């Protein structure tokens, strides 16, 4: 490298060189355009002014407030307080209105739908899905299969206290583990599972005596699921004739559930969400069309 060469005019570009050359490459003297330099200097001046006028420099326990005393945090808190104040007008009306009257009151229904949709996305969608269609182990809230009832009041009660939650008023209902707790033998589980499958239109195994399975069903299952297999809603016992099974509708899935049932848990929201939000959620979920 050399920087002792005389300046010369580059033959290709016609631009004067700086006199510097690196491995045969000569540096052209192309200064920045004046407009760019002036813009750069103006930005520096602007930045200095911004540092003085607005809060910008972090300190040990705070930051410089600037000569204008502007605060985005204060603006955000003010906007939040304004939103809470505007919301409280309708929220108070929601609390004061009977649950069944909310859908019949257009302005309250509009608020409940918007408030419920936001609360559902934040609290319910992780389990039931953003579209409330559920998945294995998590109920589909759009169909008409409701373990504890699909009326507005039923949904509201379930939201308040949950299912098998730690709340004293939680909805409770657990299926015995007939196999794990040795209440039925493996062969008996096969027989009763095949009987249930035969009643619900599923293919059964060859060589299974369905009449024995029926007796086992009556003795062990009918008290909760009913003689007609249509369940008892007051006990949270599902209809076995339904097209929708929470943990899969197949003979093998039935066997697994009889042997070692899975009992899902829904949290109680009474101590987590305010009353207006819970009522809004009930109205919103009921609006999916699967309720009663």
Annotated binding site: 124, 127-128, 175, 221, 224-225, 266
* DSSP 8-state code for residue 179: T
Q: What CA–CA distance (Å, rounded) separates 287 from 282?
A: 9
Cβ atoms within 10 Å, residue 242? 16
Binding residues for heme c: 124, 127-128, 175, 221, 224-225, 266
Q: What CA–CA distance (Å, rounded) separates 228 from 200?
A: 11
Q: What CA–CA distance (Å, rounded) separates 87 from 80?
A: 10
Q: Is there a contact between 285 and 277 (Cβ–Cβ < 8 Å)?
A: no
What's the angle, vertex CA 96, arms to CA 90 and CA 99, rounded to 5? 95
Token digits of residue 157: 């009660």
- Scanning the structure block, which residue is given the tokens 């299952």? 221
Q: Is there a contact between 240 and 248 (Cβ–Cβ < 8 Å)?
A: no
Strand 17-22 and strand 25-28: the pairing is antiparallel
Phi, psi of 140, deg, nearest 5: -80, 120
The stretches of 97-151 forming alpha helices (DSSP H) are 106-123, 125-128
Token digits of residue 52: 């003085």
Q: What CA–CA distance (Å, rounded) separates 198 from 90?
A: 52
Q: What CA–CA distance (Å, rounded) separates 255 from 32?
A: 80
């Amino acid at each position: 490298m050399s920087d002792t060469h005389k300046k010369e005019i580059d033959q290709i570009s016609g631009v004067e060189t700086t006199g510097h050359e690196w491995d045969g490459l000569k540096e052209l003297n192309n200064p920045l355009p004046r407009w760019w330099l002036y813009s750069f200097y103006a930005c520096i001046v602007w930045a200095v002014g911004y540092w003085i006028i607005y809060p910008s420099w972090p300190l040990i326990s705070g930051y410089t407030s600037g000569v204008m005393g502007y605060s985005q945090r204060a603006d955000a808190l003010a906007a939040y307080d304004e939103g809470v104040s505007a919301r409280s007008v309708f929220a108070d009306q929601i609390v004061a209105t009977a649950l069944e009257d909310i859908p019949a009151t257009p302005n309250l229904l509009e608020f409940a739908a918007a408030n419920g949709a936001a609360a559902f996305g934040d609290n319910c969608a992780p389990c039931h899905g953003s579209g409330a269609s559920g998945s294995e182990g998590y109920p589909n809230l759009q169909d008409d299969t409701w373990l504890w009832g699909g009326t507005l009041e039923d949904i509201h009660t379930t939201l308040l206290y949950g299912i098998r939650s730690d709340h004293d008023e939680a909805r409770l209902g657990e299926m015995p583990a007939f196999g794990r707790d040795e209440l039925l033998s493996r062969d008996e589980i096969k027989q009763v599972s095949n009987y249930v499958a035969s009643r619900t239109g599923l293919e059964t195994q060859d060589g299974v005596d369905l009449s024995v399975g029926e007796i086992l069903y009556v003795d062990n299952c009918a008290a909760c699921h009913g003689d007609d297999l249509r369940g008892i809603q007051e006990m949270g016992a599902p209809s076995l004739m339904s097209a929708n099974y929470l943990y899969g509708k197949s003979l093998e899935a039935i066997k697994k559930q009889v042997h070692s049932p899975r009992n899902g848990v829904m949290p109680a929201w009474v101590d987590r969400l305010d009353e207006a939000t819970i009522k809004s959620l009930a109205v919103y979920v009921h609006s999916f069309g699967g309720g009663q």
